[in-house]
């Protein structure tokens, strides 16, 4: 059974992602499963820290981007918005090139909050980063 309230295609998600930071970093959605969302990000000069490794901030950006969009797909956007409330990340392995793949799955999908577990893996499926993202679900305010 799917957790999604709306289920856009990967192409639709990528078209929207191109408009902001996700597009700048090269984040590309690759799969929408029944209970997960997956995306990739290149490890290159845009995502490196000074030592030539994947920047922890880029990993956190990937995790928050993926979890935020996943939350958005689970709510009624005519009544609610989802906003990031807290994120943490453990960086477990350095990566200097290639592509990393992130997968977001929910721990909790409540009426007022969502908690997501995001794993980032390298091309050899080795765990690079684990993150937990809490999203606040708030009511839409009338536009004035």
Could you give the residue numbers annotated as active site? 64
**Bigger pLDDT: 80 or 8?**
80
Per-chain mean pLDDT for the chain:
96
Residues 6+ apart with CB under 8 A from 15: none
Contact call for residues 17 and 27 (beta carbons, < 8 A): yes
Quickly state the pLDDT bin for 49 (edges 50, 70, 90): very high
Q: What are phi and psi of 140, to 5 degrees?
A: -65, 135
pTM: predicted TM-score of the whole model, two decimal places: 0.95
Per-residue H/E/C for the chain: CCCCCCCCCHHHHHHHHCCCHHHHHCCEEEEECCCCEEEEEEECCCCECCCCCECHHHHHHHHHHHHHHHHHCCCCCCCEEEEEEEEEEEECCCCCCEEEEEEEEEEEECCCEEEEEEEEECCCCCEEEEEEEEEEEEECCCCC
- pLDDT at position 1, please? 84
Q: Is the pLDDT of residue 144 over 90?
A: no
* pLDDT tens-digit map of 58-105: 999 999 999 999 999 999 999 999 999 999 999 999 999 999 999 999
Quickly state the pLDDT bin for 8 (edges 50, 70, 90): confident
Q: Is the pLDDT of residue 106 over 90?
A: yes
Distance CA 45, CA 49 (A): 8
Percent of the chain with pLDDT over 70: 99
Q: Is the pLDDT of residue 52 over 90?
A: yes
- pLDDT at position 80, please? 96
* pLDDT tens-digit map of 14-35: 998 888 899 999 999 999 999 9
The full set of domain ranges for the chain reads 10-139
| Architecture of the domain whose range is 10-139 | Roll (3.10)
């Amino acid at each position: 059974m799917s957790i999604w309230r709306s289920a856009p295609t990967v192409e639709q998600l990528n078209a929207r992602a191109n408009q902001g930071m996700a597009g700048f970093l090269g984040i590309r959605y690759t799969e929408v499963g029944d209970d997960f969302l997956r995306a990739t990000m290149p490890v290159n000069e845009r995502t490196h820290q000074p030592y030539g490794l994947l920047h922890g901030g880029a990993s956190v950006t990937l995790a928050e981007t993926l979890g935020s969009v996943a939350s958005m797909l689970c709510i009624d956007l005519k009544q609610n918005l989802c906003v990031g409330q807290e994120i943490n990340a453990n960086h477990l392995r350095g990566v200097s090139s290639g592509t990393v793949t992130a997968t977001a799955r929910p721990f909790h999908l409540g009426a007022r909050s969502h908690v997501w577990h995001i794993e980032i893996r390298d091309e050899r499926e080795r765990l690079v980063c684990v993150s937990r993202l809490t999203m606040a679900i708030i009511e839409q305010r009338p536009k004035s």
